[in-house]
Chain A
């Protein structure tokens, strides 16, 4: 996240400064300039041979060299990320519709209209349901898979690959396959998972999936989404579990703890940072989900989400004002989630 802003050498254990993390331009003035330049020099040219140069050539201060090297990416990020976010927010306060850009100012009209927009309300509810089901589902599934592999199943590498493969498939391809798997035709039109259930004598499991009349229909989309990402969650958990020293578990067992107690009292607390990261990654993927639903059942409002509404209203209807408003609201939503993540990350960085 703020990786590119870090000065090499700063923020390492034992580095000066109370924060351990310093941004360009906030370098404390009390630091001896030459010392700092020395650090930069080591980094810039290797090997650090004895300096032989004319005394007339003064060395560029380290922070300037750093800024110089960073500036292309700073400019690009500034323009293409923050500049466009600003532009998008600006458009959300205009009445721009159609192919002629209009940069007037209509205050909060678009936000008010969105609040009263029946489709937006459906979308907002849908995305909440989808996020809840998808995040909890993928988390639980990923955790169980990691636990099984961690226990030393035979052919672990094979299963790890198999579980991770779905993530390598694009959401569009995933959606095309699941569109067929989640077909809800009945009688002679039965297909996909329902057909499988019927063949296995499990006909009572038949479902209408995302075409069901229930207002929870969108929860069915968590199936393909979870299928695609639970392997990734598994990899996260597996890495987290491997990082727990065996001695912890061993000593708990010697103390007479059952496997469940080991899981609950030793593994769970140790896995908290991993769980936290996984949840945030899943939530932000869930809020951004577009292609999966776009290809699964285009235009079915039962599984409509804000990002789809944004696309259709902007590019089919030319409502650039409304599209920008939805994008801004989505950004605020994501920021509310990513914000704590950054805070958490900074805090753990400090430790």
Chain B
């Protein structure tokens, strides 16, 4: 029996010892740690985050910056893990979200703290464009600090391809695009390259924006214009026609190969956000306005459809004071100028040094700062629709690809919008 007892005792001791590090992991690190959660693991963005982290540690001696980044799926993997941590009320000290309604659920569930006072203290309202502030506001308050700005409504092409085909210039409206597309098709090329499902949603919002105009686009997502309204149905019909000129049936597996087809010349146009610029300059060694070019997508000249990565202050963060300092870093000119040139985006603030942003970024920055530019939010990247509606749109567009039923698409979007608002 003695031997048996020793065995049982040993088992108990081992179980306890095994449990200790688990408790430690659950409890997190010491007082001088800042855990920041993001999906910035790709080239450029990771270095940008590291640069900001370095400056943060230099300013706050003795504080360790813990990078809790989760890679994959344009943030969708990170979001799944984050959701379970938020549900367990075990948030990191600060986490990344796309600015806009992607944060609505967090706000309504009380997962993030109101940052309106911090905005006032730091004077951020004066240095951020009004259109951005409007899109950041949820139920009258501000909850996230934007670090960067990407532009979504862009049509990419190579000047050489347009010359070869004698097209004169990129299309200014979607009907003009359809006319060009017919010619391009006759010349044996793909008029529009497309990629996986989310790039189709990106195209979808771009066609809606171009066909409806900025006002009605915003009304549509605010609920004052219905999805079944005649003008919206007409825009959906345009989307179907545009899709018919794309390589949807042999769509690329990701956005980079989608753009590769444009660079190689098998396809002529692609609708994509401005992360394309960093990819074409870096990986493909192309130069802005020589090897590649972009204009506002058809029908959206003077409109800047943005998306932005923003950081929050979660309820129950272990180190709220440090987290607030991190947010100040994110909102500062220095922080944004450290991050954005590396990531290939522009700063959200309008007072950053323009010299740091050459090529495409310089053009984008000038448009962003132009007071005449109309700023709207992107759908596919979480600004104008909450997560629930966005996921329902994914299903609806996926089914539409199979059945091509416009009436059903409009009815489904109308119904799911009401059900998820």
Contact = CB atoms under 8 A, between A and B. Distances in A.
Q: Do A and B bind?
A: yes
A167 to B, nearest CB: 23
A299 B394 contact: yes
For the complex, would chain A's binding face be called helix, strand, loop or mixed by DSSP majority? Answer: loop
B97 to A, nearest CB: 12
A25 interface: no
12 contacts: A45-B3, A59-B1, A99-B83, A100-B108, A119-B399, A185-B247, A187-B188, A299-B398, A304-B398, A315-B83, A316-B391, A318-B83
Contacts of A311: 80
Contacts, number: 105
Interface of B: 1, 3-4, 8, 15, 73, 76, 79-80, 83, 86-87, 105-106, 108-111, 188, 196-198, 247, 249-251, 253, 261, 264, 266, 387-388, 390-392, 394-395, 398-399, 401-402
Given A45-B4, A99-B86, A316-B76, A118 B399 contact: yes
Given A301-B401, A318-B387, A187 B266 contact: yes
Size bracket of the A interface: 35 or more
A179 B253 contact: yes
Given A101-B87, A298-B196, A318 B105 contact: yes
B73 A298 contact: yes
A299 B198 contact: yes
A36 B144 CA distance: 67
Contacts of A187: 188, 266
A179 B252 CA distance: 10
A97 B402 contact: no
A297 interface: yes
Interface in A82-104: 97-101
A211 B399 contact: no
Contact of A315 (B3, B76, B188): B76
A184 interface: yes
Lowest 9 A-B CB distances belong to which pairs? A299-B197, A317-B391, A301-B398, A315-B80, A99-B109, A100-B109, A316-B391, A98-B105, A184-B250
Contact of B87 (A99, A208, A316): A99
A184 B249 contact: yes
B261 A122 contact: no
B89 to A, nearest CB: 10
A299 B196 contact: yes
Given A98-B105, A99-B106, A297-B196, A119 B3 contact: no
Nearest to A294: B73
Contact of A301 (B110, B391, B402): B402
Contacts of A100: 108-110
A249 interface: no
A318 B3 CA distance: 53
A260 to B, nearest CB: 44
Contact of A57 (B1, B198, B253): B1
Contacts of B197: 298-300
